[in-house]
């Protein structure tokens, strides 16, 4: 290897030789002036660097522009600094915490002291940002000693930065300055502020310093920025579109659910349409589980507090449970989970190894006292139903059972057309968060990973995400507009069998401990329905639609023929209604379209004579005329096959 030259490999696989210590900008210039103009930063061997930083070694290089994630990351990081500069100009007393880029934009946590900071002040900050951006201030990097860094912030009386610096190693501390604002920061940044052309500050929130409830709460300002006004407009338009599929809006419009203050916050009431939808989902999963050897059980909504003391849940989750109620001389609690009930069912009889695995399933309704600020439509509630099941098996059966559960879960999400990412959630070394022996944990984690490998799953491991009694496999689905939701989980549990003294008689005639798998593909029916509504934007596939077709007679003269057809469709197991209002056909169609009903069946003179139906498909319009019987079969087939509509995005 030469001292003077380095070889850089570009994303397309090509190589080029450069003088050692060439900067990113010079590399970009060597390719094209256009690229150099658009370059924001470079990524070398996985780390993002400033454009003017010298490259010292051979390696893979990417010139980051707005088009890449790393480029946006740099852009938004610099935008956070720009916002801080604007805030500093307007509020010189403000003290700054942290200000990172995030998935969609950036934020900065700021301590405004006693000055309240409200939404109406965001405009001013925005304007200031644009004004400052136009000054084209360079982002300049400085390496400082720890002592210098500390004294800088002592002078500013900023305890937050001091807190951060104290955790840094001497020699690694850098500041970046643009305009009048200087900030502790490891970078990288865009070359200068002029690339930031459009800014929107989007949200204001309280955020605890370092995420700790006991620390001071800072004001967090969220924003997003773009290199062109047009991109900002597009982004805002997209946000508007996303709002249109909000399940809280559609849930009301489509008659899915309501929340009533007289009943209580976080306690959803399922309306007829929502109940139909939920029952369809339950039937779907129930049938599938029946095929896979599950037995269904039903357990009560309250139980003696001792049950949860035995399970160990009570002390862990005391704050998020409804207070116990006194019954006779005992204390009872609304059930916050179904597991202990199922464990008692397991213990109801002596189990032989020949009986295992025992798979107990229940659509079990549970109640948890969620913090008031957490409640959200159907997706975060205080009373909800889990599609819960517990599988009791021998150690030898464990891996196969996990495989079956993964297979079921994948089948379920495939049916809804949702792509799935898999995460193995393991423990970290915080002893207090977990129950049970370390030995069990290691074993369970090893087995889960082995199964994932054997199934050739594409997974990632995240430490610290386990539940308190065991590691999990989490299924993270992506919806139609790319948002991610953690849904189904599979958990391996060695703790509860001990606590509940669960046993089975082995072939050796001795007692043994079974292993438990907890699993819930949907997680909660409430949350899953909220996600389905947003995924389909309310345009459900035929098999899920609460009302599958509306028969629309042209005028009252055809009402009876329409009713006849409706009855025939109903007898075929389809959900159909007739619209006999004295409205014009256009109005009937419009109302049916707005209610997102998949099929509209129009009946008039022609149809009655020829025994046909004229059919419209939701959002697609007239799809022509069919002999009645043929259409009935077509509809039936589409519903039975659980066909997915083309997604509207």
What are the residue numbers of the active site?
A: 339, 368, 386, 388, 390, 472, 518
Identify the CA nearest to 40 among candidates 32, 49, 31. Answer: 49
Q: Does 30 bind RNA (CB under 7 A)?
A: no
DSSP letter assigned to residue 303: E
Q: Does 213 bind RNA (CB under 7 A)?
A: yes
The one segment of 205-213, 498-506, 507-515, 564-572 that binds RNA by CB under 7 A: 205-213
Torsion of CA 303, 304, 310, 311, to 10 degrees: 20
Which residues, 6 or more positions from 311, have their beta carbon under 8 angstroms from its beta carbon? 339, 340, 343, 496, 499, 500
Q: How many Å apart are CA 44 and CA 38, to the nearest integer?
A: 17
Of 193, 280, 614, 628, the residue at the interface with RNA (CB under 7 A) is: 614
Of 468, 478, 480, 513, the residue at the interface with RNA (CB under 7 A) is: 468
Of 208, 332, 353, 459, the residue at the interface with RNA (CB under 7 A) is: 208
Which residues in the 301-330 window bind RNA by CB under 7 A?
313, 316-317, 320-321
The one segment of 298-306, 448-456, 529-537, 598-606 that binds RNA by CB under 7 A: 598-606
Which residues, 6 or more positions from 185, have their beta carbon under 8 angstroms from its beta carbon? 81, 174, 175, 176
Of 619, 629, 630, 634, the residue at the interface with RNA (CB under 7 A) is: 619
Q: Does 273 bind RNA (CB under 7 A)?
A: no
Question: What is the size of the binding site for RNA (CB under 7 A)?
Answer: 72
CB of 373 to RNA, least distance (A): 2
Nearest 5°: phi and psi at 187? Answer: 80, -165
Q: In DSSP terms, which residues pair with 308 in a beta bridge?
A: none
CB of 306 to RNA, least distance (A): 15
Q: Does 33 bind RNA (CB under 7 A)?
A: no
The one segment of 126-134, 333-341, 536-544, 627-635 that binds RNA by CB under 7 A: 333-341
Residue with tokens 């002596």: 350
CB of 239 to RNA, least distance (A): 11
Both tokens assigned to 579: 């619209």
Give the x-and-dash track for 404-433 against RNA (CB under 7 A): ------------------------------
Q: Give the number of C-alpha atoms closer than 13 A to the C-alpha of residue 305, restricted to the C-beta side.
A: 16
CB of 121 to RNA, least distance (A): 9
CB of 480 to RNA, least distance (A): 18
Which residues in the 537-576 window bind RNA by CB under 7 A?
554-557
Q: Does 116 bind RNA (CB under 7 A)?
A: yes
How far from 143 is each of 30, 41, 56, CA to CA, in Å?
A: 29, 19, 18
Which residues, 6 or more positions from 475, have their beta carbon under 8 angstroms from its beta carbon? 409, 410, 413, 420, 421, 422, 423, 486, 487, 488, 489, 521
Instruction: Check: CB of residue 67 under 8 Å from CB of residue 33.
Output: no
Of 171, 315, 373, 646, the residue at the interface with RNA (CB under 7 A) is: 373
Q: Degrees (nearest 5) of the Cα angle 433, 437, 438?
A: 80
Nearer to RNA, 12 or 212 (CB): 212
Q: Does 484 bind RNA (CB under 7 A)?
A: no
Of 11, 272, 621, 627, the residue at the interface with RNA (CB under 7 A) is: 621
CB of 528 to RNA, least distance (A): 14
Q: How many Å apart are CA 600 and CA 591, to the nearest integer?
A: 10
Identify the CA nearest to 388 among candidates 528, 270, 258, 272. Answer: 528
Nearer to RNA, 37 or 581 (CB): 581
CB of 411 to RNA, least distance (A): 22
Q: Does 617 bind RNA (CB under 7 A)?
A: no
Q: How many Å apart are CA 161 and CA 182, to the nearest integer?
A: 12
Nearer to RNA, 50 or 109 (CB): 109
In total, the chain counts a number of residues equal to: 649
Q: Does 115 bind RNA (CB under 7 A)?
A: no
Q: Degrees (nearest 5) of the Cα angle 241, 245, 247?
A: 150
Q: Does 370 bind RNA (CB under 7 A)?
A: yes
Q: How many Å apart are CA 39 and CA 53, to the nearest integer?
A: 13
Of 32, 166, 217, 560, the residue at the interface with RNA (CB under 7 A) is: 217
Give the x-and-dash track for 233-262 against RNA (CB under 7 A): -------------x-x---x------x-x-
Neighbours of 640 (CB within 10 A): 11
CB of 371 to RNA, least distance (A): 3
Q: How many Å apart are CA 548 and CA 544, to the nearest integer?
A: 8
Instruction: Check: CB of residue 368 under 8 Å from CB of residue 321.
Output: yes
Of 188, 223, 255, 377, the residue at the interface with RNA (CB under 7 A) is: 377
Give the x-and-dash track for 121-150 against RNA (CB under 7 A): ------------------------------
Of 77, 189, 220, 351, the residue at the interface with RNA (CB under 7 A) is: 220
The one segment of 410-418, 448-456, 594-602, 630-638 that binds RNA by CB under 7 A: 594-602
């Amino acid at each position: 290897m030469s001292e003077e030259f380095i070889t850089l490999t570009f994303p397309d696989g090509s190589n080029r030789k450069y003088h050692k210590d060439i900067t990113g900008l010079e590399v970009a210039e060597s390719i094209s002036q256009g690229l150099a103009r658009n370059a924001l930063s470079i990524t070398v061997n996985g780390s993002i660097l400033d454009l003017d930083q010298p490259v010292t070694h051979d390696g893979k290089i990417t010139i980051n522009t707005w088009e890449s994630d790393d480029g946006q990351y740099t852009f938004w990081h610099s935008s956070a600094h720009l916002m801080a500069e604007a805030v500093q100009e307007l509020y010189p007393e403000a003290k700054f915490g942290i200000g990172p880029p995030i998935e969609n934009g950036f934020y900065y946590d700021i301590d405004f002291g006693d000055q309240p900071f409200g939404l109406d002040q965001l405009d001013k900050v925005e304007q200031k940002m644009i004004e400052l951006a136009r000054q084209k201030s360079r982002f300049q990097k400085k390496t400082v000693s720890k002592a210098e860094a500390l004294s800088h912030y002592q002078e500013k009386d900023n305890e937050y930065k001091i807190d951060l610096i104290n955790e840094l190693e001497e020699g690694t501390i850098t500041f970046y300055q643009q305009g009048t604002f200087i900030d502790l920061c490891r970078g990288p940044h865009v070359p200068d502020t002029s690339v930031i052309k459009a800014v929107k500050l989007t949200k204001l929130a309280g955020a605890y310093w370092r995420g700790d409830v006991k620390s001071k709460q800072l004001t967090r300002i969220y924003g997003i920025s773009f290199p062109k006004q047009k991109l900002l407009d597009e982004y805002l338009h997209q946000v508007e579109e996303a709002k249109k599929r909000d399940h809280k809006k559609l849930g009301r419009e489509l008659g899915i659910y309501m929340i009533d203050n007289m009943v209580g916050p976080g306690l959803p009431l399922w309306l007829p349409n929502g109940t139909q939808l939920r029952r369809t989902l339950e039937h779907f999963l129930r049938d599938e589980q029946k095929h896979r050897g599950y037995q269904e059980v039903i357990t009560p909504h309250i139980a003696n507090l001792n049950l949860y003391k035995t399970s160990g849940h009570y002390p862990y989750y005391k704050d998020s449970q409804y207070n116990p109620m006194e019954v006779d001389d005992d204390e009872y609690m609304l059930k916050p989970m179904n597991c202990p009930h199922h464990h008692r069912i397991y213990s109801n009889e002596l189990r032989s190894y020949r009986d295992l695995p025992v798979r107990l399933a229940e659509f079990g309704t549970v109640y948890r006292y969620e913090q008031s600020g957490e409640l959200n439509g159907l997706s975060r509630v205080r009373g909800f139903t889990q599609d819960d099941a517990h599988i009791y098996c021998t150690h030898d059966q464990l891996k196969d059972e996990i495989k079956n559960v993964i297979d079921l879960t994948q089948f379920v999400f495939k049916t809804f057309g949702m792509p799935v990412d898999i995460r193995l959630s393991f423990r970290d070394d915080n002893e207090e968060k977990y129950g049970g022996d370390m030995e069990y944990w290691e074993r369970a984690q090893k087995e889960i990973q082995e199964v994932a490998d054997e199934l050739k799953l594409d997974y990632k491991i995240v430490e610290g995400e386990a539940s308190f009694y065991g590691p999990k496999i989490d299924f993270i689905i992506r919806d139609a507009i790319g948002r991610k939701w953690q849904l189904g989980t599979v958990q391996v549990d060695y703790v509860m069998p001990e606590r509940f003294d669960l046993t089975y008689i082995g072939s050796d005639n001795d007692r043994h401990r079974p292993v438990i798998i907890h699993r819930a593909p949907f997680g909660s029916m409430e949350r899953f329905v909220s996600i389905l509504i947003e995924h389909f934007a309310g345009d459900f596939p035929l098999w899920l639609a609460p009302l599958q077709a509306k028969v629309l007679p042209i005028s009252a003269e055809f009402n009876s023929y329409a009713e006849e057809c409706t009855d025939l469709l109903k007898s075929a197991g389809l959900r159909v209604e007739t619209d006999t209002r004295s409205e014009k056909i256009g109005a009937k169609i419009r109302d049916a379209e707005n209610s997102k009903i998949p099929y509209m069946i129009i009946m008039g003179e022609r149809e009655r004579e020829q025994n046909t139906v004229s059919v419209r498909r939701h959002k697609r319009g007239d799809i022509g005329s069919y002999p009645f019987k043929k259409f009935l079969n077509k509809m039936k087939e589409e519903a039975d096959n659980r066909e997915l509509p083309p997604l509207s995005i």
